[in-house]
Amino acid sequence: MSSRERQPRPLREVVFVDGVRTPFGKAGPKGLYAETRADDLVVRCIRELLRRNPALPADRIDEVAIAATTQIGDQGLTIGRTAALLAGLPKSVPGYAIDRMCAGAMTAVTTTASGIAFGAYDVAIAGGVEHMGRHPMGEGVDPNPRILSEKLVDPSALVMGSTAENLHDRFPHLTKERADAFALASQQKYAKAVANGQIGPELVTVATRSAEHGWGVATLDEPPRPQTTLEGLASLKTPFRPHGHVTAGNAAGLNDGATGCLLAAEDVALELGLGVGMRLVGYGFAGVEPEVMGVGPIPSTEKALARTGLSIEDVGLFELNEAFAVQVLAFLDHFGIADDDERVNPWGGAIAVGHPLASSGVRLMTQLSRQFAERPDVRYGLTAMCIGLGMGGTVIWENPTWEGFAT
């Protein structure tokens, strides 16, 4: 063979080893993390991943990718690198920051996973953080005036709640009553999962500080409202337009929190004796009209399914980010899935637990991985989310405990 001839390079299987997150807090001066730094939240996740996986030598980590939507202050300064240093990783471990708004952590996973598949990395940490109390969405931005003057997007595209109202306009059969019913179910499923011990083991405790109350420890999610009723949801104000559909009850709140996960080449995970929570099958990102960004997960899912040779019927579990109930309903209607299908967000979603923007993608993945361990009858699962400025992201995973592998 000539030295100039090249053979195709085989890709490696990539696995999700483990995932953790902080309890999610309410953004604002009275929230859990009002006086806690964003980078300290990420550091707790990185340290917990190492504590839970003692077989992994810290110097085997090849990359740390941490997402933040608002990369300023304690969420700035290339947070993937600074968080790695603060967590005590060897100085030889590099890191970087990443931004795809709500899908930041999801993109941190797909980007580092692609590096692992290609052979550039063996092991990586990916995650995200958002301290919306310290850094509200859009802080410090300076949109180019051409965006509006040349009508590149509708002005409502810059207000996420307005984009959800636009979805209700576009799909009038997605009523407020359906959105409220879906929101109530999210609260109820989350409460049941906590009571069953299904949500909780992935949480890492965080020391909190308050000038007024002193030191404390965050151990539980702050946003859930288990006392929610349909009557209460129906009475809430519609802040984005008079007589609208979107309320604080059928949308995720403003939240603070961080997530982190450990990814590895499957052969390396086996070599090191690491667990395998799930195997990456494929992913897709897609763009849509920014003023209806909530439909983004539809084309991204179609793309991911087409490129992996799967169909929606092959998916046994769905973890869909509930930025707004209406965007999940649009996804379900498109794919012919019932609002109350048991495969969808079986432990509740962001309407209950919260949505700290860039961190949420790894929460979805961590939750799916834990569900896989309980469900050997399910082979494939899917994590998907809508993304600000008109995008969607979808990642498809395979359950390593699927009972079909034993036959």
CA distance 381 to 371: 9
CA distance 381 to 280: 10
Instruction: Point out the catalytic residue in the list 135, 168, 245, 355.
Output: 355
User: Kind of pairing, strands 278-287 and 391-398?
Assistant: antiparallel
What crossing angle do the helices spanning 325-334 and 160-170 adopt, rounded to 10°? 40
**Rounded to whole angstroms, what are the CA distances from 52 to 23, 61, 194, 203?**
17, 15, 21, 12
Instruction: Point out the catalytic residue in the list 45, 102, 131, 245.
Output: 102
Q: Which segments within 118-253 are labelled E, that is strand?
A: 123-131, 206-210, 214-218
CA distance 26 to 17: 29
Residue 97 near residue 50, CB atoms below 8 Å: no
Phi, psi of 215 (to 5 degrees): -85, 150
Q: 314-341 as b/e, with b when 16 or more CB fall inside 10 Å? A: ebbbbbbbbbbbbbbbbbbbbbebebee
Specify whether 261 is catalytic: no
Q: Which tokens go with 217?
A: 């420890």
Distance, CA of 366 to chain centre? 9
Specify whether 45 is catalytic: no
Residue 323 near residue 250, CB atoms below 8 Å: no
* DSSP per-residue letters across 13-45: PEEEEEEEEPPPEE-STTSTTTTS-HHHHHHHH
CA distance 281 to 301: 13
DSSP state of 267: H
User: Kind of pairing, strands 380-387 and 391-398?
Assistant: antiparallel
Of the candidates 113, 121, 139, 129, the one whose C-alpha atom is nearest the C-alpha of residue 37 is 129
DSSP state of 58: G
Number of CB atoms found within 10 A of residue 368's CB? 26
Q: Which tokens go with 347?
A: 């432990």
**Rounded to whole angstroms, what are the CA distances from 16 to 45, 163, 228?**
15, 33, 34
The catalytic residue positions are 102, 355, 386
